[in-house]
Structure formats: C-alpha cells, structure tokens
C-alpha cells in the first residue's frame, strides 16, 4: 500500500499552505516563497500530458534531487536549531528526514544488482 499522501492536481493556495504547515516547510521559507516555489514545481512537473506523450521519469535524477534536498534540510536544521540537531542521529529523527531516508532506502533496495 502506498503510504504517501496524494495531492489533488490543482490544490488551492489554502490547501498548499495547510500541507506545508503540517510538513514543517515554514522552518525554511515564508508562505509567499513556498507558494511561488510550489506553483513553479507543479507547473513544471505536474502538468497533465496525454498518456502517449508522458516521458519515462528519470528516477536516478529524482533520487539524486531527493538526496540533495535531504542535505539542504539537514543543513537548515543544524543552522536554525543547533541545540536540537547537533549530530547526524539527531537529524535522522526529524520526520521529513525519515521520510526521505525511507524513500531512498526503498529505491536503493529495488535497484540492487541493476
């Protein structure tokens, strides 16, 4: 079963902001910046295409991007809350880091031997 939440194709700004608040994105940017980034990403990557025109995703590039996102979040945690996030083990306890680590571990396991 897929444990990830599905986001509607065209969420409202309020829905995006609610989700961003739940996921603690406002530790890293303000609401206006988040909405601008979220809309740009959705426009770029979530634009519907006819099935016959959908390109195969470059999963390796997505995993690399997720790894970079993890590193960015870890840096931000160390910088913004150094009393709480001093070690890699502390950072690994953050909910978003756990989600990223789980997704990357699942992807690595599925690609063993390829």
DSSP 17-75: HHHHHHTTGGGTS-HHHHHHHHHHHHHHH-----GGGPPPP-HHHHHHHHHHHHHHHHH
48-66 average pLDDT score: 77
pLDDT tens-digit series, residues 9-37 = 577 888 888 888 887 777 777 888 888 88
pLDDT confidence of residue 114: 67
pLDDT tens-digit series, residues 61-102 = 899 999 999 999 999 999 999 999 999 999 999 999 999 999
Do 97 and 26 touch, CB atoms closer than 8 A? no
State the Cα–Cα distance between residues 47 and 12, nearest whole angstrom.
15
Residue 5 has pLDDT above 70, yes or no: no
Residue 105 has pLDDT above 50, yes or no: yes
32-56 average pLDDT score: 73
Give residue 49's pLDDT band: very low, low, confident or very high (50, 70, 90).
low
């Amino acid at each position: 079963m897929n444990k990830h939440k599905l986001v509607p194709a065209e969420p409202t700004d309020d829905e995006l902001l609610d989700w961003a608040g739940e996921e603690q994105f406002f530790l890293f940017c303000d609401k206006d910046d988040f909405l601008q980034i979220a809309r740009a990403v959705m426009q770029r990557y979530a634009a519907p295409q006819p099935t016959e025109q959908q390109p195969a995703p470059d999963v390796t590039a997505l995993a690399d991007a997720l790894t970079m996102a993890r590193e960015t979040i870890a840096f931000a945690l160390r910088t913004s809350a150094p009393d709480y996030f001093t070690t890699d083990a502390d950072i690994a306890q953050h909910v978003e880091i756990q989600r990223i680590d789980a997704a990357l571990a699942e992807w690595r396991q599925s690609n063993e031997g390829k």
